[in-house]
Structure 1
Amino acid sequence: MSEKLVRVGTTYIPVTNVALSSDWYTEKLGAIKNYQDEDKAILNLANQSIFLVKSKVGETLNFVDNNGQDRFALTFEVDGLDNLISLHNEFIENLVQVGQVENRGHAGRNFVFEDPDGNKFDVWSELSPSYKEKFNMQ
């Protein structure tokens, strides 16, 4: 079967204050702002379009898994453990709320961070093989 869905083009993230969140994503994560109004901001981040959408307080991307653990919906990738550790340290220096670097029993290491609204995101130290191949990063 051929692949029908080629890539994730846009992720929508609920935020309570579009201007504050847009500034946070550009300053802390290096996103590029393309558009902003009172209800949304459109950013480029990690080869994807990110829409920050004004939402009610308490709305997040997070969900609770079967074991009652609050989980993230999105994992970013970096190229290797050294880059993961460097980014983790940079986030700490920039006062981003981060968890510990974890060994989850699979290749690479991960850590979780949060935006100002409590949206959780994961970072993994392994670039997917298809991404590396596509961009000649072998």
Structure 2
Amino acid sequence: MTKNLLRVGTIYIPVQRVDEAADWYVDKLGAYVTYKDENKAIVNMANLIFFLVKAKEKETANFIDERGEECFSITFEVNGKEELEILYNELASQGVQVGPFENRGHGGKNFIFYDIDGNMFDVWSELSSVFKEKFDIG
């Protein structure tokens, strides 16, 4: 391969009600909306662009693994366990459905949360070394 992929530019998330979903991402996750119509909203957060796309009823970005367990398709990162706990407490206090802290056998801890449409997301307490170096984060 002579060219490398440089970054993830956009992630598409299925939602039921575009206006309500966009408001949820702004209120709960600190996103900001750059475009919205009746079929989609473009929100920016976590150094990524998310398209919230009106989808069929009960459609989510989640999938079922070979053991029959529902899985997330996106993991967000925060800078350390303290930041993870702060985010967890903020989301929980806002009524966001959050799972317990997990130790998955690697450095750091994780927890999952759900948006208003049932999309499951993961949060990990460890920033990637490439990200830390690129943005000079200690």
TM over 0.5: yes
In structure 2, the residue matched to 1:82 is 82
Report the aligned-residue RMSD: 1.1
Q: Which runs of 5+ in 1 are unaligned?
A: none
Q: Which runs of 5+ in 2 are unaligned?
A: none
Separation in 1 of the partners of 2:2 and 2:136?
Answer: 22
- The amino acid of 1:25's aligned partner reads Y
Separation in 2 of the partners of 1:3 and 1:60?
Answer: 32
TM-score (norm 2): 0.97
Separation in 2 of the partners of 1:103 and 1:87?
Answer: 17
- Give the Å deviation of 1:65: 0.5
Distance 1:126 1:2, change over 3 A: farther
- Give the Å deviation of 1:128: 0.1
- The amino acid of 1:127's aligned partner reads L
| Aligned: 1:132 with 2:129 | no
Distance 1:26 1:132, change over 3 A: same
| Aligned: 1:44 with 2:44 | yes
- Give the Å deviation of 1:106: 0.5
In the TM superposition, 1:1-138 aligns within 5 A as: 4-138=4-138
Separation in 2 of the partners of 1:129 and 1:19?
Answer: 36
Separation in 1 of the partners of 2:134 and 2:77?
Answer: 15
Separation in 2 of the partners of 1:107 and 1:6?
Answer: 26
- The amino acid of 1:129's aligned partner reads S
SS in 2 for 1:95: coil
SS in 2 for 1:59: coil
SS in 2 for 1:33: strand
- The amino acid of 1:89's aligned partner reads N
Corresponding pairs, count: 138
- Give the Å deviation of 1:58: 1.1
Structure 1 residue runs of 4+, over 4 Å off?
A: none
* Same amino acid, percent of matched pairs: 56
Separation in 1 of the partners of 2:107 and 2:5?
Answer: 25
Residues 33-42 or 3-12, more deviating: 3-12
